[in-house]
Amino acid sequence: MALLFNFIIGFSAAFIGVIPPGLINMSAAKISMKEGRRNATLFSLGVCVTVMLQTYIALLFARYLEKNPDVIASLEQVALGIFICITIYFLFIAKDTRRAIPDNLVRKSKKKRFFGGIFIASLNVLPLPYWVYVSVTFSAFGWFSFDTPELLTAVLASGLGTFIMLRLYIHFFKRKDTSINTPLKVNMNFIIGAVTALISLITAFKIFKDL
């Protein structure tokens, strides 16, 4: 049962995390339109390799935190500072995601698609705190296990969830039209910034409450 819970949580968290339009999924869609599904799939597989590695590292760190609850109290203060910095970055510094994705992101050698996916996914470090937060939260409810078999199951599920969502993007933009170049109506940075701001408030409230 623990394996099943870890798989469901790992798959769902990864699947949901890739839903908002961003550099990775929109790049996969554009590659599909420009070069076909095969190259876009290779790109997606590269992304999944990085996602699984990031998930594994994050879950190892989360397991350490679970075994050392005294560290969590100190880490909360550090996390508050990190989330505040992330909020400021996405609200005031990050580039507007409503701009069209540059063509030079998809004009590369077909042989480098897989490694291109690895590289672009490695630029996104948000999965690290994301997976720590998800795993520790569900572990508190007894729904997530950090035992090695269950942990590896969640890692594999994160790769599968990411891949399926990217495949949906690839399938949706399978035809060569210009819709992918249309700027997004919503700046996703504002949404991310709002989420991290909310997490910052919750964390700050918990810290002051424990004082």
Residues above pLDDT 70, as percent of the chain = 73
Q: Is 137 or 152 the better-scoring residue by pLDDT?
A: 152
Contacts of 17 (CB under 8 A, 6+ apart): 127, 130, 162
> What value does the mean pLDDT of the chain take?
79
Contacts of 98 (CB under 8 A, 6+ apart): 183, 184, 185, 186, 187
pLDDT at residue 185 tops 60: no
> Is this model's pTM higher than 0.75 or not?
no
Residue 36, phi-psi category: left (phi > 0), alpha (psi -120 to 50), beta (remainder): left
pLDDT for position 42: 92
Q: Which helix (H) or strand (E) holds 194?
A: helix 188-210
Q: What is the pLDDT of residues 33-42, one digit of tens each?
A: 888 888 999 9
Q: Which helix (H) or strand (E) holds 126?
A: none
Query: Residue 174: pLDDT band by 50, 70, 90 thresholds?
Result: low
pLDDT for position 202: 72
Q: What is the pLDDT of residues 78-92, one digit of tens each?
A: 667 777 877 787 777
- Return the minimum-mean-pLDDT range out of 29-43, 69-83, 153-167, 169-183: 169-183
Q: What gap in Å lies between CA 12 and CA 126, rounded to an integer?
A: 17
pLDDT for position 169: 86
pLDDT at residue 19 tops 50: yes
Q: What gap in Å lies between CA 136 and CA 129, rounded to an integer?
A: 11
Q: What is the pLDDT of residues 86-135, one digit of tens each?
A: 778 777 776 555 555 555 544 555 558 888 889 888 888 778 878 887 88
Residues above pLDDT 90, as percent of the chain = 27
Query: Residue 76: pLDDT band by 50, 70, 90 thresholds?
Result: low
